[in-house]
Amino acid sequence: MPTQDTKNLEVIQEYFTEYWGKGNPDIVDKLCADNFVINYPIHGPRYGKENAKKMLSEFKEARRSIQNSQRFGALEKGNTGKRMYFSGTTIFTLKDGLIVDETGEEAALTALQQLGLVQQPNPGREVKYLHE
């Protein structure tokens, strides 16, 4: 018989695969509590299932607009077409087998450095990624 920790891990894996991996907002109805809160610093906290679904659709829209962006106006740097990589940490809180809280931290500073908007700490010694 699986332990509660094993069951919780299965819930988190299914949620993460469906919500973030496949972009399926309906998984929120299945695996999250009614009082679910999703909070990432860049996006701010979103309270309730409907707001969590809305955040995903906004995230997908932002991604699409970034992919299709063109240079207009007085931008300092144009689209380079380079891939960005940054890490993050997500902490889930579950109660009675449902996710009640998802709090994440995206390494926003790393993203800004890769975009050239914030100077690297050691110019000329940037992190190189093995899969590039």
User: Could you read off the pLDDT of 93-103 as tens digits, one per residue?
Assistant: 999 999 999 99
DSSP state of 89: E
Among 30-34, 76-80, 111-115, which stretch is predicted with the lowest mean pLDDT? 76-80
Structural domains of the chain in order of their starting residue, each with its CATH number: 4-67+83-114 (3.10.450.50)
The winner for highest mean pLDDT among 1-10, 40-49, 120-129 is 1-10
Q: What are the pLDDT digits (tens) for 38-90? A: 998 877 899 999 999 998 888 666 554 444 444 445 556 566 667 767 678 89
Instruction: Quote the pLDDT of residue 99.
Output: 98
Strands 98-106 and 88-95: antiparallel
* Confidence at residue 64, expressed as pLDDT on a 0 to 100 scale: 44
Return the C-alpha torsion angle 103, 113, 121, 126, nearest 10.
110
